[in-house]
Amino acid sequence: MISNTTTPKGEVKTHTVVIVGGGAAGISVAASIHKRDRDIGIAIIEPASTHHYQPGWTMVGGGVFRPEVTSRPMPEVIPPFVSWYQKAVTAVDQDKNQVVLDDGSCIEYKALVLAPGLELNWSGIEGLEAALGSNGVTSNYREGMASYTWDMVQNLKQGRALFSQPPMPIKCAGAPQKAMYLSADYWLKQGVQSKLDVQFHNAGAVLFGVPAYVPALEAYIEKYGIDVNFQSTLVAVNGPAKIAVFRTPGADGNHQEREVSFDMLHAVPPQRAPKFIRESTLANEGGWLDLEDDTLRHKTVPNIFGLGDVSGTGNAKTAAAVRKQAPVVAENLIASLRNEPMRAAYLGYGSCPLTVENGKIVLAEFGYGGVLQPSFPKWINDGTQATKAAWWLKAKQLPTLYWHGMLKGREWLARPAVRSTND
């Protein structure tokens, strides 16, 4: 156990490395830095009391994991060698090398790592937040709500089930579909599929951003008889009336709104970087943290690095990406503290285990530009087809690898590539 640190009023504490966020990225990078240099003083600023293994929420929504296995008290996850401030950062003052906390105090750094994840913009869909958790409206993206998804799936015997996907980028771009496939598989096995109208409403124009995986997903869409609606964006929900409103582009260039009644709605909100990033000069045009693709150093502020969902790099926002990013940030940050060239490169790896049925997964692994980057043998990841071995990996191995590997600095399959040019 670790006790958290407080700052007496007016005093500015200094740490060599300050990490903002104690999620998958913040904890992993702290462990990777410490593994390489035990003398570097590290602080983590993280307001939450609980750490979540979010990739497990899909499995909770599909009735595979118990919800408890996806969460741990934050003090059990924060490494003993860091100073933990249980506060939120409200601003970065890069001229003074300080972060401002929500109690008004400041902490000074030599190097800063920004890993605050992303913000789920629930209010971006009118009525959704109020509707969640009753009348069949649910979301695996909401902390604690995946169990309600599984309740709804088990209770639904007839009627209409809607699954929505917002505009990209979102974390784990496959997760809206994963919820749908696991639900449809259950309904098929229960013999109620023919009494259900299952619809997928995707704000985008394709099933998945990397074409190699689309045929396998299309085969499951056909198997489950799912009605796919592209460029159909969920914009409003009326829970008590059980009505969802979708916006689609009309032929005349104007948008049209369409009401669809439902018995169950699995909704995913639009997503954006936290306000203190997106409204700062550290953000790119899209509001995400403006990092160099390979070094993960900020493009204009050389003692700031970043990783995880907040990043403006073009990779899939996943914990799998974090697994590869943490050692790259650790190596490059230490090199920059020592005034040495940065040699480690991140090639954009991300992975999405698409749970197409209970017992099988299409394991998508790819880097920048959708280039396939398989890291497992063919019997686990054969490139495009669902395998039982990939399910075994996700259901039996990955949670342990997360808690006891990634968060502890055991860098499994995560050796950084070497940069071809040096600064």
Which residues are near ligand FAD by CB under 6 A?
20-26, 45-48, 54-55, 57-58, 88-89, 115-117, 140-141, 171-172, 175, 274, 276, 308-309, 317-320, 322, 351, 353
Q: Which is nearer to ligand FAD, 48 or 206 (CB)?
A: 48
Strands 89-93, 98-101: pairing is: antiparallel
Determine the length of the chain. Answer: 423
Of 21 and 348, which CB lies nearer to ligand FAD in the complex structure? 21
- Judged by CB, which is closer to ligand FAD: 160, or 317? 317
Q: Compute the half-sphere exposure of residue 326: CA atoms within 13 Å on the CB side of its CA.
A: 32
Cα-based angle 253, 244, 242 (whole degrees, multiple of 5) = 160
Instruction: Report which residue type is found at 259.
Output: E
Exposed / middle / buried, residue 116 (Cβ in 10 Å: 0-12, 13-18, 19+): buried
CB of 146 to ligand FAD, least distance (A): 7
As a dihedral over the C-alpha atoms of residue 244, residue 248, residue 251, residue 254, rounded to 10 degrees, the angle is 90
Q: Give me the least distance between CB of 180 and ligand FAD, in Å please.
A: 12
Distance of CA 158 to the CA centre of its chain: 32
Sign of the CA dihedral running 152, 154, 160, 163: positive
CB 170 to ligand FAD: min, Å: 9
- The residue number with the shortest CB distance to ligand FAD is 23
3-class DSSP state of 302: coil
Residue number, 141 or 220, with CB nearest to ligand FAD: 141
User: Pick the catalytic residue: 172, 173, 244, 289?
Assistant: 172
DSSP character at residue 116: -
**At closest approach, how far in Å is the CB of 72 from ligand FAD?**
12
DSSP 397: I
Read off the tokens for 278: 């997106």
With residue 220 as reference, give the H or E element that holds it. helix 214-224
Long-range contacts of 149-154 (CB under 8 A, 24+ apart): 149/60, 149/61, 149/179, 149/183, 149/266, 150/60, 150/61, 150/62, 150/63, 152/264, 153/61, 153/62, 153/63, 153/182, 153/183, 153/186, 153/187, 153/264, 154/63, 154/186
Given 277, 344, 352, 356, which residue is catalytic? 352
Which of 148, 242 has the CB closer to ligand FAD? 148
Residue nearer to ligand FAD on the CB measure, 85 or 186: 85
Minimal distance, residue 208 CB to ligand FAD, in Å? 14
Residue with tokens 């869409």: 221
Catalytic site includes residue 106 = no
Nearer to ligand FAD, 51 or 201 (CB): 51
- Cβ of residue 248: shortest distance to ligand FAD, in angstroms? 25
**Which of 166, 168, 5 lies closest to 82 in space, CA to CA?**
5
Q: How far is the CB of 29 from ligand FAD (least distance, A)?
A: 9
Tell me the catalytic residues: 172, 352
